[in-house]
Each structure stands twice: as C-alpha cells, then as structure tokens.
Amino acid sequence: MTVQLLQYNDLAVTAHAIRTCWQSFDKSDDGGEKDKELIHRVGNKFKHASTLEHLSYSFYIQGISRACLQELARHRIASLSVKSTRYTLKELKNNPPLMNSNQAEGTYWLWDEIDKYIVLTGEYAVDTYSAMALANLKDLLEDGVPNDQAKYALPESYKTELTWTINARSLQNFLYLRSSKSALWEIQHLANAIFQALPKDHKYIFEDFIQEKTQ
C-alpha cells in the first residue's frame, strides 16, 4: 500500500480556535512552540478535543484490499471518495493474463501480474485461492458479463484506492483503535503508514495514540 498526504492545514488555525475561547490571540507565536504546547495541553490533556476538529488531513491511499476498506469505512467521522469497481473492472478485463500456460513451460501463476489486483497475504494457500477468484472474475469479464454483475464475484482481497479526509480528533481515535494488536494486520499497517505520512511537526499530537508500531 502507499499513503500520500495531499493536504493539511496549519497548526496556527487550531491554536487560533483555542485562543478564541479565551481571547488570548496576543500570546500566539503563529503555530510555533507556544501554540504547539497549547494544542497539546488543551486538545489532548484537558480533553477540550473539539478544538482539534479544526485541523484536518487529506490522504491518497492506494493498494488496500476491499476487506481493509470495509473496516476503514466504519470510521464515520471522515470523508471517503473510493475508486469505483463498476467503472474500473475493465482494467482487469483488458490487461495481460494472470497465468502462464504454454506446453513448454507448463502452467503457473504470474504473481507480479496478480499483485497488481489483489493484496497478497504471504499465506500461499490463501493467496492461491484469492488468485483463482481473480482469474474467475477475469473470465467472467472476458465472457462479456457486465461489470455490475461481475463485481459480485470480487474477492475481498481486491485492491482499491481512495482519497480520505479526516480531522485530527477523529484521526486520533482511528490511530488508537487500528494500531492495536487486536486490529486486522492490514489496517494496522495502514494506521502506521498514515501516522508516518503526517507532517513531522504534527506527529506529537498523535504519538500517544499509537499502540503498536508495525514499520
């Protein structure tokens, strides 16, 4: 998977929101160390966490499975725009075969090609069944079955991508829940990759919410 930070707003905006409550604008250092300490003290320690909602991040997340997407989408306090399988299954239909089969070399899976479409787990039996489901789906499409029908044969491992926007308060909740050892391994990786993609000077707001580091 890859996670790219597309956009975020300045810490000074969050500090301004906090300073609005006490009208202490004159004490601001425009997003500097004083403002950063204020954000941590008020937003994190005093749990006046609604102030953290003024800080938001947009990410471009690529190469997660539909299984992982399903879990990510449970986080309601976020905005998602997801690649449509209805419109993009033609990639699978038109692209090269997933299996080599000629008499000289025999029959074997082309894992580099398969890896473009599904998340591989490293568990050979699981990945093979997943590749078989993908090959069946490709057959359906090549036989002319419309995308709207064929999508019901998608394996959960099928890769997708999305633009995801979330505010800092909700991101803390996401990172806490999904960096836990009890979360699915793929969303644990995603939580860690999202944390890594944050601007260096914003990470301190989230550090205490990371339970397990996977990278």
Ligand X SMILES: Cc1cc2nc3c(=O)[nH]c(=O)nc-3n(C[C@H](O)[C@H](O)[C@H](O)COP(=O)(O)OP(=O)(O)OC[C@H]3O[C@@H](n4cnc5c(N)ncnc54)[C@H](O)[C@@H]3O)c2cc1C
Residue of 41, 74, 76, 178 with catalytic role = 178
User: What is the 3-class SS of 24-45, one letter each residue?
Assistant: CHHHCCCCCHHHHHHHHHHHHH
Q: Given the complex with ligand X, which of 44 and 98 has the nearer CB atom?
A: 44
Closest distance to ligand X from the beta carbon of 184 (Å): 8
Across the beta sheet with 2-8, what order do the strands follow? Answer: 2-8, 56-65, 159-167, 79-82
Select the residue whose beta carbon is closest to ligand X and give its number: 76
Q: Given the complex with ligand X, which of 79 and 94 has the nearer CB atom?
A: 79
Q: Point out which residues bind ligand X (CB under 6 A).
A: 74-77, 170, 173, 177-178, 182-183
Closest distance to ligand X from the beta carbon of 100 (Å): 39
The burial of 35, by beta-carbon neighbours within 10 Å (0-12 exposed, 13-18 middle, 19 or more buried), is given as: buried
Residue 178 annotated to the active site: yes
Closest distance to ligand X from the beta carbon of 176 (Å): 9
129 residue type, one letter: Y
CA terminus-to-terminus distance, the chain: 13
Containing 58, the helix (H) or strand (E) segment is strand 56-65
What is the rounded distance in angstroms from the CA atom of residue 22 to the CA atom of residue 168?
A: 21
Q: Given the complex with ligand X, which of 145 and 183 has the nearer CB atom?
A: 183
Q: Given the complex with ligand X, which of 142 and 212 has the nearer CB atom?
A: 212
Closest distance to ligand X from the beta carbon of 172 (Å): 10
What is the rounded distance in angstroms from the CA atom of residue 139 to the CA atom of residue 16?
A: 57
User: 107: number of CA atoms within 13 Å, CB side?
Assistant: 0
DSSP 158: B
Q: Given the complex with ligand X, which of 103 and 182 has the nearer CB atom?
A: 182
Closest distance to ligand X from the beta carbon of 65 (Å): 16
State the catalytic residues. Answer: 178
